[in-house]
Amino acid sequence: MDKIKGLANEAAVRRVRIKEPDGDIAVDIPLTVGALAGGAAVLAAPALALIGVAIAFFSKVTLEVVREVDPDADEKTG
């Protein structure tokens, strides 16, 4: 639960997906960035956690986090 709450507060996280063992996406939740999204993400975090726990209880799943990529990051480091 704490992991999902933490992800919901990260600005770079765009989506949280829970994938089934066969690769199908069971839950795909977009996370919006911005002042309003911060509050919405915090409110949604308990629901996300409950969904994740319920699915994990019945099957072995993977939590996939989709982050925003900074196109200037390569230029800054290299």
Q: Where are the domains of the chain?
A: 2-69
What is the Cα–Cα distance from 8 to 37, expressed in whole angstroms?
9
Q: What is the mean pLDDT of the chain?
A: 67
pTM of the model: 0.45
Tell me, what's the pLDDT at 34? Answer: 42
Check pLDDT > 80 for residue 23.
yes
Mean pLDDT confidence for 36-54: 64
Are the C-beta atoms of residues 41 and 8 closer than 8 Å to each other?
Answer: yes
Tell me, what's the pLDDT at 42? Answer: 61
Tell me, what's the pLDDT at 35? Answer: 38
Q: With 0-12 CB in 10 A as exposed, 13-18 as middle and 19+ as buried, what is 4?
A: buried
